[in-house]
Structure 1
């Protein structure tokens, strides 16, 4: 029994799900609510919109490195204390962003906020702790779907905050929401430590164990490549829609609201597929949709002038694919080392955010033809992920065949 705690009543289940969804919201809030404020931030700090986009990528990399420490620590000292400490640090970073007028200090406080937000990696560990079997898989699909919904609604909320409170409004609202979630976590969570003593190993040994497993790394890379396609679009979408196409922030936010519909559709499809086909087949289906999206993006970039519809149609396909592939790949990876759920979640989430941050930063450095660059990115990442999924599937089949062939095999 590896569970840190057990959720047995319907009321506790609802409390756990609401806490996890709140953590998902706060995980995307610092990134996406700020998107409509790009022009205001660029004007305030006398920087280009590309510099502001780079700060988003830096935020993702900051989260990634913070998670390296938080996950293994949570396997030893429990989840609750680290979650409360991380949220406190992120709130201080958000307040610092509001108070400064220097761009360099703004980046420092954004990294501080990112380090605190690294605690939200514990949502995956808490799913592993508190739920089992099919319920765990359904919750992961719900969390990915909720991520997309929050992402699509966030720019509209950001537009409202920008119009009423200026660019600082998103930081104040983040601080207030974090305080509410912090209080909820304080009341609901127990800080029980894992009962399995194998979880209490050193950081290096923990990471060597999980990262030395080809299957673990392979499935997290698949999840990371799917995430990078989505995240790259989110980071550069203000450059395409507001900088190149000269759309107003409100119009931009409405476009992303349509984009969120793909997450809802993808979540419904993922839930249906989860009951009917294997995780490997779910991953293949999702990645194939991302590949199709990349090819469509390249065709539209070559044959048609840049317009909202030529970007949005491939992104709807890509997002549906991401919503189908990511939960299946994540569940496969997290099931390998349940006694080290914190380390597993941190290692995987670090891979995800480093891939997302670095790939989006590279795309933002080629502003002349962002649409085509995005298309090439989708094609390359999905093709590599499909090959990886195929190899993992073959490897599992070979291991199963070898096990049966052994004397005494069933």
Structure 2
């Protein structure tokens, strides 16, 4: 099921990124302000966080398979709403419904934890989350190219086709992995109480959220720097952005190879340190006047490596603290990642455009990386730390 889970976990981040180059086109076509169309990103992120909180307990009650399939069906419905929208509000409603695909992110991790023990789960999550890297790598470039050639609605037709393919794979290939399903929803939500009381869970959760914030901050501010400061085209931005995604793929591959040998804490600390250091390198280069695509995007390769080391290991640790609540834990981890990412993206856009420019952007990223490093260093090596 590994390839199927990789694809299912990639649909949601692909839908986040692929429409970004089309926001101006959508605003013109739907006679709406660009700021209103921009809500298609922030509302999607907010809905993604909420859905992941809900998906965990539902999957603990009814099973992983029906919940992840149901989320993909809703994604298809939301995509059709966007394609058929003649006004901005139907389009935004479609974006919110599309966010149901986030069940693929949360539950793919829970499924891996159902099947594998803790250290091995970190390795397998490393493989699964490679899908999260491929999507942002190709999304903006594909979206911008299709919009230019065929219009923005064709971008959403492509998403519909990808959703249909994923749905077919889930029906054909995904088996039920939750052996303890069947408890009432009220009891399942009590799992959140156990997680809230577990200090170890919060250490893993904050490493996961803060290391993700480094990436989301770049996502929120780099477009302004690339287009308005460096004069890059959307296609050029997409090509340079592939460095970050390539690093993330490499980091996940290294996690899959090294997690059982080195342990979760070692890779969390190493990933946090690498991401923080890479952001500091960009800050230093910009402070000395070396502002160029290479100094903005080059270190992001190493930020990607750091994320690839720290994200799957912190996720595997988080879903292992309370094993019978793996679904709830996966949902909460995903919600914290996306929630922190939304805040980081918004803060970075303000910093990059108003308060600090490129130097302020990378200083903010360095701060998130430092926070992740401090929390990762405080974790113990024991599985219940």
Q: When the two structures are superposed, what TM-score results if normalisation uses the length of structure 1?
A: 0.84
Contact 2:9 2:128 in 1 (8 A): yes
Where in structure 2 are the equivalents of 1:362-377 lying within 5 Å? 362-366=347-351, 367-368=353-354, 369-377=356-364
Separation of aligned partners in 2, 1:130 and 1:278: 19
Q: 1:106 to 1:74 in 2, by over 3 A?
A: same
CA displacement at 1:120 relative to structure 2: 3.7
**1:220 and 2:201 aligned:** no
Partner of 2:133: 148
Separation of aligned partners in 1, 2:6 and 2:177: 21
Q: 1:300 to 1:46 in 2, by over 3 A?
A: farther
Partner of 2:98: 113
Where in structure 2 are the equivalents of 1:95-244 lying within 5 Å? 95-132=80-117, 134-191=119-176, 194-195=179-180, 202-244=187-229
Separation of aligned partners in 2, 1:254 and 1:278: 34
Separation of aligned partners in 1, 2:75 and 2:17: 16
Q: 1:152 to 1:249 in 2, by over 3 A?
A: same
SS of corresponding position for 1:355: helix
Q: 1:136 to 1:391 in 2, by over 3 A?
A: closer
Separation of aligned partners in 2, 1:239 and 1:39: 14
SS of corresponding position for 1:304: coil
Ranges in structure 1 where 5+ consecutive residues have no aligned partner: 1-15, 401-410
Partner of 1:320: 305
Contact 1:145 1:263 in 2 (8 A): yes
Q: When the two structures are superposed, what TM-score results if normalisation uses the length of structure 2?
A: 0.89
Separation of aligned partners in 1, 2:40 and 2:281: 29
Q: Give the number of aligned pairs.
A: 383
Please list the CA deviations of residues 22-68 of structure 1 after superposition, one character each: whole Å capped at 9, or x if unmatched. Answer: 11221221012223324423444566766655532331121001122
**CA RMSD of superposed structures (Å):** 2.7
Q: 1:105 to 1:372 in 2, by over 3 A?
A: farther
Separation of aligned partners in 2, 1:43 and 1:232: 27
Partner of 1:405: none
Q: 1:190 to 1:359 in 2, by over 3 A?
A: same
Contact 2:270 2:310 in 1 (8 A): yes
Where in structure 2 are the equivalents of 1:8-87 lying within 5 Å? 16-45=1-30, 53=38, 55-87=40-72
Contact 1:221 1:385 in 2 (8 A): yes
Please list the CA deviations of residues 122-168 of structure 1 after superposition, one character each: whole Å capped at 9, or x if unmatched. Answer: 11111112334554222211123332233212222223322332222
Partner of 1:10: none
CA displacement at 1:352 relative to structure 2: 0.9
Ranges in structure 2 where 5+ consecutive residues have no aligned partner: none
Contact 2:105 2:334 in 1 (8 A): no
CA displacement at 1:286 relative to structure 2: 0.8
Separation of aligned partners in 1, 2:345 and 2:215: 10
